[in-house]
Amino acid sequence: MGNFVVQLDFKQHFFKKKEGEKKLNRKLLINYEDFVKIRMKSRKQFVYSPFASTFKSARLSLGKTLLAVVGEICSLSYVSKYENNLLVPDENVLRVLFDNVGINYDLLQACDMTNFLCDMIKAYLRNDYAQLKELFEKAQSQYFIAQNALAICFYYLAMEMYTECAKEIEKIDAVKSTLNDYQILVLGIVTTEFYIHTGRFEEAEQLLQVLKIMYKEYPEVKALYNEERFIVALTLKDHLHLLPYYHDLQGDYIYTYPLKKQIRNKMLYLETQWEEDLAYEEILAMKNDYIPEEYANDYLYSTYLMMIRTHREYELINHFHRLEDKTPALVALFAMAVRTSNDHPLVRPHYDTLIPEIQEELKQFVMDKMYQQEIMLIKLLLLQMMDNHPLDIMDYMKAVILPYLQTHQHRVYTEYYVETYLNLLESCSRYKEAITFAKKYIRYVKNLNKDED
């Protein structure tokens, strides 16, 4: 059988970031972290005006400084305090200020100021797309209003419209000094959610450390915050906190947290317990209970993953062939099962016959940007199965996978990439490079002391 060739363009390889990811950079994360620390330490008496964000957003969009909009109506510090939640100016002053940024203050006051944010977060938690759409339409306004913009972000996340979500987050971040404490918290929560959706879990973890110090006794926000902690700990192999975070999500006191999400989380948690025989039996038993339709493929994914980890590749392959709907994520695990089976010389000739099937499955979604994670993994697996030289595989990983690993993480693929690259370095006797690489990705490397320098 001929070698499988991966076409590489070293200037612009096939993997492109998901749409919208580049819109949120490290600077925004650091600015938010610094801002929260200052706000939490401040002893000033804050007031809140829902239109302060409207004013500041309009001013910034026009490129005007505070000095340019003040005129002779008031002092510079007076307007600065308005933009920093320290006072609410007289209405006559506000009319002039808003007029100076092109907004009729009286018309602004007449707009619908119903706060849809809490309901939007609850609908987001429930995956209630009908209500999300309804609330999204209600939150539309000709003026920028922070609470509406925050609500809209959750709709964009649910619809996987990451470019639009990133733009909204940037708009809100630019006026965060005008937000109340609840809105500042939600800004952090929705930004964390954006990072999770786009695979940037290390940045999500950093932001969660900031949110940790904030007051969040709001049921819907607390539920989402606890979910984010669990998902991030799961992906980044934070085994120390995984169980307590999982228990927090299963707690009855979070009454806003949907039952179907608890079922999803149980699947994810059982993945991490694959060394226990009862865990595999338990996930198999779940199919006899209620599995929410939207998590049916997630259930199969978790089951397949545990089959691989417990050396039941034969069962996985047989089950995969009976599937009618073969999603790219399941194809990736099928390819991983074949790759693992190929390590056994006695059965390898049988499993080699499945390589053309993997290549055929790959062709069906290779041009779809939504599935680049799976494409990248499957191409690596094929390179390995076709016995390419270790240096050729290393070149592929250096050009395509390692740049991706620097900013993105996946709960399954990242660990496989790290172990594969370490094995390649060892096979090429690059031990110093292997030690450096292992230290960089210490949380993904088994049997190493995490406290090691």
pLDDT value at position 344? 75
Same-domain check for residues 97 and 194: no
pLDDT value at position 44? 76
Same-domain check for residues 120 and 82: no
30, part of any domain: yes
Higher pLDDT, 348 or 427: 427
Question: Are 196 and 170 contacting, i.e. CB atoms less than 8 angstroms apart?
Answer: no
Same-domain check for residues 144 and 224: yes
379, part of any domain: no
Q: Which amino acid is at 374?
A: E
Which residue in 118, 343, 103 sits closest to 219, CA to CA? 118
Q: How many CA atoms lie within 13 A of 316 on its CB side?
A: 27
270, part of any domain: no
pLDDT value at position 446? 66
pLDDT value at position 23? 53
Tens digits of per-residue pLDDT, 261-306? 999 999 999 999 988 888 999 999 998 888 999 999 999 999 999 9
Q: Is the dihedral of CA 161, 163, 169, 171 positive or negative?
A: negative
Same-domain check for residues 78 and 102: yes
337, part of any domain: no
pLDDT value at position 314? 92
The pLDDT confidence band at residue 7, using thresholds 50, 70 and 90, is very low
Which residue in 335, 382, 352, 264 sits closest to 4, CA to CA? 382
319, part of any domain: no
129, part of any domain: yes
Per-residue DSSP letter, 312: -
What's the total number of domains in the chain?
Answer: 3
Same-domain check for residues 130 and 97: no
Q: Residue 429 region, left (φ>0) first, then alpha (ψ -120 to 50), else beta?
A: left
Higher pLDDT, 381 or 71: 381
Same-domain check for residues 400 and 449: yes
300, part of any domain: no
Same-domain check for residues 167 and 222: yes
pLDDT at residue 74 greater than cutoff 60: yes
What domain range is 425 assigned to? 388-453
Q: Estimate the share of the chain in helix, then strand, then coil, as percent rounded to the nearest 5.
A: 70, 0, 30
How buried is residue 442: exposed, middle or buried, by Cβ count under 10 Å (0-12/13-18/19+)?
middle
Same-domain check for residues 36 and 81: no
Question: Are 376 and 386 contacting, i.e. CB atoms less than 8 angstroms apart?
Answer: no
Read off the pTM.
0.90
Same-domain check for residues 33 and 84: no
Same-domain check for residues 189 and 226: yes
Same-domain check for residues 188 and 76: no
pLDDT value at position 72? 81
pLDDT at residue 224 greater than cutoff 60: yes
Tens digits of per-residue pLDDT, 166-196? 999 999 999 999 999 999 999 999 999 999 9
Question: Are 260 and 128 contacting, i.e. CB atoms less than 8 angstroms apart?
Answer: no
Q: State which of 193, 222, 248 marks the end of a domain.
A: 248
CA distances from 162 to 100, 235, 264 (A): 33, 20, 23
5, part of any domain: no
Same-domain check for residues 431 and 410: yes
pLDDT value at position 57? 95
Question: Are 4 and 362 contacting, i.e. CB atoms less than 8 angstroms apart?
Answer: no
